[in-house]
């Protein structure tokens, strides 16, 4: 399973990249705003800064909601760097835009997926990735992991190439469960990625090994 980090924070992106396990980055307008990145040019420059840190797909989201606007924005985003993936919302105009970009060889990430029907439509339009939002489903008492399993089954039934990018990850168990279900990619915060490495027995064991070594070696 590929690991993407879901942030626009350059320090977090660098830290995850330095671990050597990072495959890509996802952003969204809320994450950009959270970092105080405002204004069209600053936002575009920030995407380039991210692309210069990570050698992998970087999702950059359009803010237009009409086909023409999405095409205009997406085509410009795609010129910024070879690794830019145009992030398109799951709305009817977005489906048309995904189809358009697919025909032009521009990669897309269909975002705000909350149902299997939406995932099916996005795959038929030729989305490179779809982003089902696990955490936000869990927030409304619906099991987000069930959706991942359902989409996996549908995509495998018809050999769709669209990759399942599990999004809105909140904690390490989400990541492990997504891996069990065969999600192609997960995108989550640095905290969830780093939490995978933590185990109290590892810390205790290491402490003991170092103490024993110190005893024998002065």
| Binding residues for ligand E4P (CB under 6 A) | 6, 26, 28, 111, 131, 133, 135-136, 167-168, 187
Q: Which of 87, 99, 107, 198 is flagged as catalytic?
A: 87
Query: Which of 118, 158 has the CB closer to ligand E4P?
Result: 118
Gyration radius from the chain CA atoms: 19
Query: Which of 25, 211 has the CB closer to ligand E4P?
Result: 25
CB of 135 to ligand E4P, least distance (A): 5
Report CA dihedral (71, 76, 79, 85) to the nearest 10 degrees: -60
Query: Which of 139, 203 has the CB closer to ligand E4P?
Result: 139
Is the four-CA dihedral 45, 50, 52, 57 of positive or negative sign?
Answer: negative
Alpha helices for the chain (secondary structure H): 10-19, 29-34, 40-53, 67-80, 92-103, 116-125, 134-139, 144-157, 172-181, 190-195, 200-216
Our answer to whether residue 198 is catalytic in this structure is: no
CB of 29 to ligand E4P, least distance (A): 9
CB of 94 to ligand E4P, least distance (A): 14
Give me the active site residues, please: 87
């Amino acid at each position: 399973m590929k690991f993407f980090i879901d942030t626009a924070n350059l320090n977090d992106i660098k830290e995850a990249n330095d671990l050597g396990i990072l495959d890509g980055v996802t952003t969204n307008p809320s994450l950009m705003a959270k970092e105080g990145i405002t204004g069209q040019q600053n936002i575009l420059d920030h995407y380039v800064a991210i692309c210069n840190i990570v050698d992998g797909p970087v999702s950059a989201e359009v803010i237009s909601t009409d086909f023409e606007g999405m095409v205009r924005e997406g085509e410009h985003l795609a010129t910024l760097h070879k690794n830019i993936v145009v992030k398109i919302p799951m709305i009817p105009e977005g489906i048309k835009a995904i189809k358009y970009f697919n025909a032009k060889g521009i990669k897309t990430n269909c975002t705000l997926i909350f149902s299997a029907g939406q995932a099916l439509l996005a795959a038929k339009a030729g989305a490179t990735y779809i982003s089902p939002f696990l955490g936000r489903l869990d927030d409304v008492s619906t099991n987000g992991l069930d959706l991942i399993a359902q989409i996996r089954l549908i995509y495998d039934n018809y050999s769709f190439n669209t990759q399942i990018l599990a999004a809105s990850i909140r904690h390490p168990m989400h990541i492990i469960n997504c891996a069990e279900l065969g999600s192609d990619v997960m995108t989550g915060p640095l905290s969830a990625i780093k939490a995978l490495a933590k185990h109290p027995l590892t810390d205790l064991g290491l402490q003991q090994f170092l103490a024993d070594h110190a005893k024998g070696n002065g």
